[in-house]
């Protein structure tokens, strides 16, 4: 009976009628394939390591569409916060009334409350990118109209109230459209990261915009702030036009709108986490986010008291 040594060194022959296979030859043959695989691995690691470890907090930016959206929204939101501060300053100069500041704030937010539910149904049934482009274009035209009115010196507080209400109406469609459009840009895998970065844009612009507005009001006046805001909308419009996303088919809503609104309200009522979250957002948005109006009213009151003291 052959020993194990004789089997290992048998070379090419037959053992028990079965062709002998040279194991050493097989190992030598597969070595180039292993080396080729090892040579390919270093080229793939850096990209995966960069997005999954060091840049995991910004991984949504690996999508080109979201990069365009991120840059455009950052510029546009800074301009929007600039106009918000300049608009309040303009109302204060025109009326010196804290009540009128509140009226302008009411005109800005009331359309969102009245139209928001129906706007959500419409956003779900139209092409969201085209909807956002249309909304941003209308907001840009509103800013340029206010620029023209202040530049010609014909602006009145009634004009500001009307434009604020129109901006609120357009924002009722723009805000849910932008939020729902995020998933079309990044997919479900990076959706949570994209939402976090979207919030970062909003709060960053909220911090930078008023500071820039204060400088511009001192340098070029409120007219310049309105013009810069109108010009800033071009950034987000250009970014949306450059995106490569499949076009959504428009669906009719008609009589189904009220049914879908009722279904949405019923779902929120049954799903208690969503209900509690909406209550929390309503309280914070209704009170905490409008402290700017309170500050402006306080400033108007203090200015009136100071003028009365100086006159006496």
Going from N- to C-terminal start, the domains of the chain cover 65-250
The pLDDT-based confidence of 145 (bands split at 50, 70, 90) is very high
The pLDDT-based confidence of 157 (bands split at 50, 70, 90) is very high
Burial state string for 275-292 with b = 16 or more CB within 10 A and e = fewer than 16: eeeeeeeeeeeeeeeeeb
Phi and psi at residue 4, to the nearest 5°: -65, -35
Amino acid 24: pLDDT:
42
Q: Is residue 299 over pLDDT 70?
A: no
The pLDDT-based confidence of 293 (bands split at 50, 70, 90) is low
pLDDT tens-digit series, residues 50-106: 555 566 778 888 888 899 999 999 999 999 999 988 998 899 889 888 888 888 988
Q: How large is the average pLDDT for residues 222-238?
A: 93
Angle at 164 between CA 243 and CA 198, to 5 degrees: 35
Superfamily of domain 65-250: MFS general substrate transporter like domains (1.20.1250.20)
pTM of the entire structure? Answer: 0.73
% of the chain with per-residue pLDDT over 90: 27
Q: Is residue 214 over pLDDT 60?
A: yes
Amino acid 8: pLDDT:
43
Which range has highest mean pLDDT (38-52, 268-282, 298-312)?
268-282
Amino acid 16: pLDDT:
45
Of the candidate ranges 30-44, 92-106, 129-143, 161-175, the one whose mean pLDDT is the lowest: 30-44
pLDDT, averaged across the chain: 77
Amino acid 309: pLDDT:
53
């Amino acid at each position: 009976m052959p020993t194990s040594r004789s089997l290992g060194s048998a070379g090419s022959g037959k053992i028990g009628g079965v062709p002998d296979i040279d194991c050493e030859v097989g190992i030598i043959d597969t070595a180039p394939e292993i080396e080729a695989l090892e040579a390919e691995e270093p080229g793939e690691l850096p990209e995966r390591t960069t997005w999954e470890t060091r840049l995991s907090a910004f991984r949504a930016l690996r999508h080109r569409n979201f990069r365009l959206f991120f840059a455009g929204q950052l510029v546009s939101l800074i301009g929007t916060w600039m106009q918000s501060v300049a608009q309040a300053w303009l109302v204060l100069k025109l009326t010196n009334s804290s009540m009128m500041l509140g009226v302008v704030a009411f005109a800005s937010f009331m359309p969102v409350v009245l139209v928001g539910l129906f706007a959500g149904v419409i956003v779900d049934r139209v092409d969201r990118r085209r909807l956002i482009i249309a909304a941003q274009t209308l907001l840009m035209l509103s800013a340029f109209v206010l620029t023209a009115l202040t530049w010609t010196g014909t602006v009145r507080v009634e004009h500001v109230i009307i434009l604020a209400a129109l901006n609120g109406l357009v924002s009722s469609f723009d805000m849910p459209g932008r939020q729902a459009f995020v998933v079309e840009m990044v997919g479900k895998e990076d959706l949570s990261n994209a939402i976090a970065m979207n919030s970062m844009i909003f709060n960053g612009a909220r911090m930078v915009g008023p500071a820039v507005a204060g400088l511009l009001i001192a340098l070029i006046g409120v007219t310049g702030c309105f013009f810069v805001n109108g010009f800033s909308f071009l950034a987000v419009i250009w970014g949306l036009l450059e995106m490569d996303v499949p076009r959504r088919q428009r669906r009719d809503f008609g009589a189904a709108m009220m049914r879908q609104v009722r279904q949405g309200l019923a779902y929120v009522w049954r799903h208690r986490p969503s209900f509690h979250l909406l209550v929390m957002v309503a309280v914070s948005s209704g009170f905490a986010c409008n402290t700017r109006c309170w500050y402006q009213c306080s400033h108007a009151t203090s200015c009136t008291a100071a003028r009365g003291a100086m006159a006496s």
